[in-house]
């Protein structure tokens, strides 16, 4: 079971990573091209709007990538002071809370995205559903990773580090 969850998490990570890469590359090129055209005297009207949309994607798709690479910022100080049993319980409670948050977020951001299918960008007449879909998509990616981390913590008795979601591989766990 854990292997299937790991494969799903790894695959999700790869997909999300390259989507995020495309967004960052795209937004950088757009910004540079925008400055170039403006200094040439013909400012682009649409690039700022598109850049803001890409930023939304970077935030949510990137947040899922950050979750997988354990890059989210949390305070581990107290957790690392606990004994293993208490630590495991604390982590499990935390993960359930995060999964609940993500499921609710997915539901309502998806609803909001659906409402936006008849809304269009102010300059680029693109349906806003495509922009707002980044939020539920990123949240679903995060649910996949959280499910894997949650299963890993449930199973693990000694080394929790591979399944902890912040702090990377830093820090030591009290024996």
Q: Phi, psi at residue 45, to the nearest 5°?
A: -90, -20
Per-residue binder mask for another protein (CB under 8 A), 31-70, x = binder: xx-xx---x--------x--xx--xx-xxxxxx-xx--x-
78 interacts with another protein by CB under 8 A: yes
Is residue 51 a contact partner of residue 30, using CB atoms and an 8 Å limit? yes
**Smallest distance from another protein to CB 144, Å:** 16
Residue closest to 68 by CA, chosen among 123, 23, 5 = 5
- Residues 49, 52, 57, 63, Cα dihedral to 10°: 180
Which has the closest alpha carbon to 17: 66, 51, 71? 66
Interface size with another protein, residues (CB under 8 A): 56
Q: Let me know: does 81 contact 172? Beta carbons within 8 Å.
A: no
User: Min. distance of Cβ 152 from another protein in angstroms?
Assistant: 15
- Distance of closest approach, residue 167 Cβ to another protein, in angstroms: 8
Stretch that binds another protein, among 2-10, 118-126, 148-156, 158-166 (CB under 8 A): 158-166
Residues 83-102 that bind another protein (CB under 8 A): 90-91, 93-94, 97-98, 100-101
Residue 122 beta carbon to another protein: minimum distance, rounded to whole angstroms: 12
């Amino acid at each position: 079971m854990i292997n299937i969850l790991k494969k799903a998490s790894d695959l999700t990570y790869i997909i999300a990573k390259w989507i995020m890469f495309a967004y960052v590359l795209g937004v950088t090129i757009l910004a540079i091209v925008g400055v170039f055209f403006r200094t040439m005297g013909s400012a682009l009207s649409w690039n700022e709007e598109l850049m803001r949309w890409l930023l939304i994607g970077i935030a949510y798709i990137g947040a899922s990538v950050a979750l997988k690479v354990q890059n989210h910022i949390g305070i581990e100080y107290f957790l690392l002071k606990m004994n293993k049993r208490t630590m495991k319980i604390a982590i499990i409670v935390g993960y359930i809370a995060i999964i609940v948050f993500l499921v609710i977020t997915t539901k309502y951001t998806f609803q909001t995205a659906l409402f936006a299918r008849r809304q269009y960008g102010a300059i680029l007449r693109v349906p806003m559903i495509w922009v707002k879909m980044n939020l539920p998509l990123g949240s679903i990616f995060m649910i996949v990773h959280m499910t894997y981390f949650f299963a890993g913590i449930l199973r693990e008795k000694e080394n929790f580090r591979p399944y902890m979601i912040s702090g990377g591989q830093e820090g030591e766990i009290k024996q």
